[in-house]
């Protein structure tokens, strides 16, 4: 297999170094895209880098496992960390700069006392119901990344659909001068949404995992055909449980506001799911085709 030539991306580990590099680009009137990640990169992350490359002259990829978005019971300490491989992949994809804060104190220095507390989409009763502080942690770190890098655009995956809605709204609410762009979910051949956490799955769990997307797709097509959302969701919930998952939620929501929605006539519908296989929690979502007018 021939590997593409690698140009090692620059790595900034402190805010002043980051700002100096970005300022150099700005002096040449170059545009900048940011792709925020927690590392353990896979083809889903790389698709965001590709989109960013098409939309801006320079691409910054941040790698920071953000403690503020993990609950004490969650996997912060064991979250996969593969920094050397990540940097190599980003070199192959010609990212210009990796923004990798040297340690947690670079982001949250002693005495850190300010948090962003998002509402509406962030309190829609989906992820927030199971991870009550998650979006406060996400919004706070993303607001910091936005002000540190000051990009023209920031690319987020639809894989984390509620998060995409929350950060889009936050950028508007705070008048941050950038555009948030959503990118489609990249999947394994069998439909499983790629995720850094998929490495936690045992062989049996990995074999069962694609059920989640299969059920979502089936529900979406039945709802698009005109079947009742409530009936289809209740069948979907049973199918997911029968597939060996412990279900957190399977919901139909308005794709923009994430408010509950009872019929395809009431707006674009998104189906969102979260469920556990063993100790691994998987999330996914799909759109429902709108009825023809």
Contacts of 222 (CB under 8 A, 6+ apart): 232
- Closest contact distance (angstroms) between CB of 169 and ligand AMP is 15
Look at the block and give the residue holding tokens 């700002």. Answer: 19
For ligand AMP, which is the closer residue by CB, 140 or 196?
A: 196
How many CB atoms within 10 Å of residue 74? 14
Which parts of this chain interact with ligand AMP (CB under 6 A)? 37-38, 44-45, 47-48, 156-157, 159-160, 183, 185-186, 193-196
Q: Minimum CB separation from ligand AMP for residue 51, in Å? A: 10
- Closest CB 148 distance from ligand AMP, rounded Å: 17
Residue 186 Cβ vs ligand AMP, minimum distance, rounded to whole Å = 4
Cβ closest to ligand AMP, residue 167 vs residue 215: 167
Q: Which residue has the tokens 């950028």?
A: 171
User: What's CA 261's distance to the chain center, in Å?
Assistant: 23
Comparing CB distances to ligand AMP, the nearer of 26 and 191 is 191
Please give the C-alpha separations between residue 121 and each of 72, 135, 168, 182, 204, in angstroms, as whole numbers: 24, 10, 10, 16, 35
Distance of CA 32 to the CA centre of its chain: 20
Closer Cβ to ligand AMP, 139 or 183, answer by number: 183
Pair 71, 133: CB distance under 8 Å: yes
Catalytic residue among 42, 45, 50, 254: 45
What does residue 32 show for φ and ψ, rounded to 5 degrees? -130, 135
Q: Give the residue with the Cβ less far from ligand AMP, 195 or 252.
A: 195
Judge whether 213 counts as a catalytic residue: no
CB of 160 to ligand AMP, least distance (A): 4
Sheet of strand 280-288: strand arrangement: 246-254, 269-277, 280-288
Closest CA to 126 of 263, 269, 252: 252
Residues annotated as part of the active site = 45
């Amino acid at each position: 297999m021939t590997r593409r030539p690698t140009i090692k991306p620059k790595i900034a580990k402190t805010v002043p170094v980051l700002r100096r590099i970005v300022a150099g680009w700005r002096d040449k009137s170059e545009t900048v895209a940011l792709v925020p990640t927690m590392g353990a990169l896979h083809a889903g992350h790389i698709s965001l880098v590709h989109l960013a490359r098409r939309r801006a002259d320079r691409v910054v990829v941040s790698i920071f496992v953000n403690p503020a978005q993990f609950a004490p019971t969650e996997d912060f300490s064991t979250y996969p960390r593969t920094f050397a491989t990540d940097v190599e992949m980003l070199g192959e994809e010609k990212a210009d700069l990796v923004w990798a804060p040297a340690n947690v104190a670079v982001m949250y220095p002693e005495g850190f006392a300010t948090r962003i507390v998002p509402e509406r989409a962030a309190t829609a009763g989906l992820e927030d119901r199971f991870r009550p502080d998650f979006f406060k942690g996400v919004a706070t770190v993303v607001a910091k990344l936005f002000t540190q890098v000051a990009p023209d655009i920031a690319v987020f995956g639809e894989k984390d659909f509620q998060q995409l809605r929350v950060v889009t709204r936050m950028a508007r609410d705070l008048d941050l001068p950038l555009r948030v762009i959503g990118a489609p979910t990249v999947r394994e051949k069998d439909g499983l949404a790629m995720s850094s956490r998929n490495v936690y799955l045992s062989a049996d769990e990995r074999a069962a995992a694609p059920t989640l997307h299969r059920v979502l797709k089936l529900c979406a097509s039945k709802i698009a055909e005109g079947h009742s959302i409530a009936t289809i969701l209740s069948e979907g919930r049973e199918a997911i449980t029968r597939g060996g998952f412990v279900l957190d939620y399977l919901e139909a929501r308005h794709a923009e506001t994430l408010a509950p929605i009872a019929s395809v006539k009431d707006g674009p519908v998104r189906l969102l799911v979260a469920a556990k296989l063993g100790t691994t929690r998987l999330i996914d979502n799909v759109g429902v085709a709108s009825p023809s007018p």
